[in-house]
Every structure is written in C-alpha cells, then in structure tokens.
Amino acid sequence: MISRRSFCKKAMIAAGGIMIPLAALEVFNPQRLAAEKDGTGKVRWVFLVDIHKCVGCGFCVKACKTENEVPYEANVTRTWVERYVVTKTGKTHIDSPKGARDGFTSQKIDQAHHGLLEVKEEEIAKAFFVPKLCNQCENPACVQVCPVGATYQAADGVVLIDRSWCIGCGYCVMGCPYGVRFFHPVYHVAEKCNFCYHRLAKGMKSACVDACPFGARKIGNIRDPEDPVTKIITTEQVNVLKEEFGTKPQVFYIGLSREVK
C-alpha cells in the first residue's frame, strides 16, 4: 500500500525528472518562441519616415482620414504627427492636437485638459515632428491577444483587421504598445493603419505617402534589393520605436531623437 506521503514524494520526483529533460527542449526556451517565418516571400512592406523632412503640415493625416473612412471630426486617426519641443532645461513637451489633422497652427503646446502651454522661444533647445502610424510589427502584440482571430498578419507583413469578424472587445486596442489602434465610432470594431492595403493591392502608394509634400514618408518592399527604401534602410542609420518590447516594428525612422517614445 502506497502511503499519501510517499505518493506525494514520488510524484514530485517524477515531475522533476520529466521537467529537466523537457526544459532543454526548445518549447521551454522563450528565446526560441520567436516564430521562424520563411523569409522567402517576394514582398514585405516596410515604411520609412525621415524626421528631418517632416514640417508638421498634417497633410498625411488629412489624406488618411479621407481615404480610409475615418470620421473626420472624431478625435481618432490612423496616423498622426507628434510635435516635440525640448527646452534647454531638458524638459520635453509633446503634443498632437487632433492628431495634427490641421497641422500645428499655434506655437503653444496643447495639453488637452490642462489648456495651452506657452514655451518661450529662447528656452527651446530643439523642436521637431514625428509622424506615427502602425508599425506592422513582425511579432504583433495585438494579433496575439485577439480572441477570435479577426486581426491577422498577411503574407506581406501587413497586419489587417476583419471588420466582419471583430467582436469589438477592445483587447487589441489595449494590447498595442504604440497606441495605434482605436475603436471605430461607426463600425464598433477595432481600427488602425494598414498602409492603405487597398491601394498597395492596386500598385499605388499609401495615401499619406502621396500626400506628403516633402517626401518625409516612404513605403517600400524590403525584399526587393533595388527598392530605394530598402537601400536606405540597409545602408543608412535607421531606428525603430520601442525595440525593447520584441515586437520587431517595421516602420523605420531616420533621425529619431532620444526623446521620442
């Protein structure tokens, strides 16, 4: 007769004995969890933003809203432009009124509920604009949390949302560390930038890329070595946002300052 005590003991030893060899397997190695996708597809869309060239006119935001059925007056946008004002004392002020749909018409910093803040010109050390959009991550955090599989990654890397399948739980909106997702006020589903997938499919460029008068926004195919965007990414100093989260974002920035989050 096996006693309870000896049963517990033996069970623990057995469990431990099984765990040790299992631990050596890759299933228990989180490093190996990164999916090994076959990098053989012909197309992988990436985006390139040149911060030096952005003047904060907001044409990209306007074009995006018009192109993609995002209600014009609602305070949600698929892409937006942030203004960074760094003072000589090292303080950083960041704003994006209406996602910069109408550009930055005032020198004052829009602090939402806390009114406008005036920063004197002689205090400013540097100021610049950072356009943001969906990073179409290689390891998208939003796709992992979707309970129904309504958001997914296409073969060319773009993360899409199936409006007819989304139940509107909002988990992906909370899950995205870049804050690019929002709740569509009309369709009651999650919504975000998809590089204007419908335009890409027709061989056109994203609406924001076409609308940018200064060429600060570019889209390209990283698998095509002749693509000018690929050439810049592979030869210049480019950076991505929140690399430490392991999401492998695919929107690359030239001239990314350390204040940018």
Partner 1 sequence: MKELGYGDINDDVLNAMRPPRLPYLIAVACLAAVVGYAALVLLYQIQNGIGVTGLNRPVGWATYITNFVFWVGIAHSGTLISAILYLLRANWREPVSRASEAMTIFAVMTAGLFPLIHLGRLWVFYYIIPYPSQRQLWPNFLSPLVWDVCAVGTYFTVSLIFWSVGMIPDLAAARDRYEEALGPDHIRTRIFRILSLGWTGSGTQWLHYNRSYLYFAALATPLVISVHSVVSWDFAVSLLPGWHSTIFPPYFVAGAIHSGLAMVLTLLIPMRKLLHLERIITLHHFEMIAKTIVLTASIVGYAYAAEAFIAWYSGDRFEWQLYHWRSTGSPAWLYWMIIPLNVLIPWMFVFKKIRTSYVWLFCISLLINVGMWLERLFLIFTSLAHDFLPHNWGSYAPTWVEVSITIGSFSFFFLWFFGFSKFLPTVPIAELKTKISEMQMRSSEECAMRVSPGKSHLAHSSVLAVFSHAGDMLEAVKAACGHGFTIMEVFSPTKLEEVEKVMARPKSPVRFWTLAGAIAGMAGGFWLAIGTALVNSLIVGGKQPVSLIPYCVIAFEGTVLLGSLANLCGLVLHAGLFKYRLPSFYDRRFSRDRFGLLVNCDIHDQERLQKLLSTTRPEEMHVSR
CA distances from 54 to 101, 108, 177, 256 (A): 14, 19, 23, 12
**168 conformational bin, left if phi > 0, alpha if psi -120 to 50, beta if neither:** left
Q: Smaller CB distance to partner 1: residue 17 or 185?
A: 185
Beta-strand relationship, 251-254 and 109-110:
unpaired
Q: Smaller CB distance to partner 1: residue 124 or 145?
A: 145
Question: How many whole angstroms separate alpha carbon 184 and alpha carbon 170?
Answer: 10
Cβ-proximal residues to 87 (8 Å cutoff; 6+ apart), any chain: 93, 119, 123, 124, 125
Q: Smaller CB distance to partner 1: residue 92 or 232?
A: 92
Instruction: Tell the smallest beta-carbon distance from residue 241 to partner 1 (Å).
Output: 9
Which structure tokens are listed for 63?
């074009």
Q: Please give the torsion angle defined by the CA atoms of residues 71, 77, 81 and 86, in that order, rounded to the nearest 10 degrees.
A: 110
- Residue pair 129/54 in contact by the 8 Å Cβ criterion: yes
Q: Smaller CB distance to partner 1: residue 89 or 237?
A: 89
- Residue pair 86/259 in contact by the 8 Å Cβ criterion: yes
Instruction: Tell the smallest beta-carbon distance from residue 137 to partner 1 (Å).
Output: 9
Q: Smaller CB distance to partner 1: residue 165 or 213?
A: 165
Instruction: Tell the smallest beta-carbon distance from residue 30 to partner 1 (Å).
Output: 8
Instruction: Tell the smallest beta-carbon distance from residue 234 to partner 1 (Å).
Output: 23
Instruction: Tell the smallest beta-carbon distance from residue 237 to partner 1 (Å).
Output: 23
Q: Which amino acid is at 84?
A: Y
Instruction: Tell the smallest beta-carbon distance from residue 38 to partner 1 (Å).
Output: 11
3-state SS class at 31: helix
- Residue pair 158/197 in contact by the 8 Å Cβ criterion: yes
Binding site for partner 1 (CB under 8 A): 27-28, 33-37, 75-76, 82, 94-96, 110, 112-113, 138-141, 143-150, 152-153, 165-171, 173-175, 177-179, 182-183, 185, 188-189, 242, 245-248, 261
Q: Smaller CB distance to partner 1: residue 42 or 258?
A: 258
DSSP conformational letter for 79: S
Instruction: Tell the smallest beta-carbon distance from residue 205 to partner 1 (Å).
Output: 26
Give the chain's largest Cα–Cα span.
Answer: 87
Q: Smaller CB distance to partner 1: residue 96 or 221?
A: 96
